[in-house]
Amino acid sequence: MSNQLEALRRHTVVVADTGDFEAMRAFRPTDATTNPSLILKAVQKDAYRPLLARTVRDYRGASAAELMDRLLVAFGIEILGIVPGRVSTEVDARLSFDTRATVERARTIIACYEAAGVPRERVLIKIASTWEGIQAARLLQSEGIRCNMTLLFSLVQAAACAEAEVQLISPFVGRIYDWHKKALGAQWDEARYSGADDPGVQSVTRIYEYYKKFGVATEIMGASFRNTGQILALAGCDLLTISPELLAALEQAQGDVPARLTPALAQAVDLPRMDVSEVAFRTQLNDDAMGTEKLAEGIRLFAADAAKLDALIEQARG
């Protein structure tokens, strides 16, 4: 009998949610995704400090913004030497409400990769799923720059990304779970809200059903998991990005993993097509307290870690 990680791979592409090269080598994911928080954690380890030092040395006269992009690309290039597929590299979260600046930074990142001999097909540009971010992704996709929309917590965000014809979305599971657990407080029942009944799992399931129902080509990559139960409940999702700790737990557990999400099941669901004009998008997202709060919180956290990464880069520059 295979372990659960190998069984999961039969239905879903497994992606490593880490900036740790050794973890990638150990678990052999197809793709890898990073963000400033993961890179911040990585560069504080002895094994990765030389990468930071080399980047600062090679681009000493560069601005702080360029150095951050160069560092993210340096990590991405190393990652692409390990994984056979794609790497996601994130635009600075501090630009989440600036369409033009997001487009310019994305173009810069892709140019850095291409200058190093990496084809753009192997890179996904991560952008927060704000209205402005989605419009940036629409333009970038038209230029052949593929986008991975992150900080996605609601169906209306997913529907707008579909209309923009982005390459991939990363709907969060664990952060939705966190919000509902905190909101219910003493009334939270872990057993009741687990597996298919987990609020985060239900959110991704609805997005999957909507996409498959309407023939949306955008890939769905469930993200931000708190336990393996959430992962197993989404077996069959196009991709799942999983931390090294949870990858290890799946690898150590024996048993089959049946597909929980399938296009055939999604076709049978009765769903209306959503209006994702700007006013409708902003109104529906505003009406979703969880989605609004977690999007804002996520941007703040990523922006704070980007600022910390700036400080480490400046410290290394001396």
At 210-222, the pLDDT tens digits run 999 999 999 999 9
In the block, tokens 């909507």 appear at 210
- pLDDT at 298 (0 to 100): 96
Counting residues of the chain whose pLDDT is more than 90, the rounded percentage is: 90
- For residue 52, pLDDT beyond 80: yes
- With the CA atoms of 146, 149, 150 and 151 taken in that order, what torsion angle do they form, in degrees rounded to the nearest 10? 160
At 109-151, the pLDDT tens digits run 999 999 999 999 999 999 999 999 999 999 999 999 999 999 9
Residues 87, 124 contacting (CB under 8 angstroms): yes
What are residue 123's DSSP bridge partners?
87
Average pLDDT over residues 235-249: 97
- For residue 178, pLDDT beyond 80: yes
- For residue 20, pLDDT beyond 80: yes
- For residue 36, pLDDT beyond 80: no
Q: Which residue segments constitute the domains of the chain, with CATH numbers given?
A: 12-170+203-216+268-317 (3.20.20.70)
Let me know the angle formed at the C-alpha of 296 by 19 and 299, rounded to the nearest 5 degrees: 30
- pLDDT at 25 (0 to 100): 94
Residues 102, 112 contacting (CB under 8 angstroms): no
At 59-110, the pLDDT tens digits run 988 998 999 999 999 999 999 999 999 999 999 999 999 999 999 999 999 9
What's the chain's length in residues? 318
Question: Given 126, 181, 182, 308, which residue is catalytic?
Answer: 126
CA 69 to chain centre: 18
- For residue 241, pLDDT beyond 80: yes
Our answer to whether residue 126 is catalytic in this structure is yes
- pLDDT at 60 (0 to 100): 87
Alpha-carbon distances of 267 from 154, 203, 206, rounded to whole Å: 20, 17, 12
Residues 287, 293 contacting (CB under 8 angstroms): no
Tell me how far apart the alpha carbons of residues 315 and 318 are, in angstroms, rounded to a whole number: 5
Average pLDDT over residues 41-45: 87
Tell me how far apart the alpha carbons of residues 287 and 266 are, in angstroms, rounded to a whole number: 25
From the list 165, 169, 160, 194, the residue with the least C-alpha distance to 180 is 194
Mean pLDDT of the chain: 95
In three-state form (DSSP H/G/I as H, E/B as E, the rest C), the secondary structure along the chain is: CCEHHHHHHCCCEEEEECCCHHHHHHHCCCEEECCHHHHHHHHCCHHHHHHHHHHHHHCCCCCHHHHHHHHHHHHHHHHHCCCCCCEEEECCHHHCCCHHHHHHHHHHHHHHHHHCCCCHHHEEEEEECCHHHHHHHHHHHHCCCCEEEEEECCHHHHHHHHHCCCCEEEEECHHHHHHHHHHHHHHCCCCCCCHHHCHHHHHHHHHHHHHHHCCCCCEEEEECCCCHHHHHHCCCCCEEEECHHHHHHHHHCECCCCCCCCHHHHHCCCCCCCCCCHHHHHHHHHHCHHHHHHHHHHHHHHHHHHHHHHHHHHHHHC
Counting residues of the chain whose pLDDT is more than 70, the rounded percentage is: 100
CB atoms within 10 A of CB 9: 17
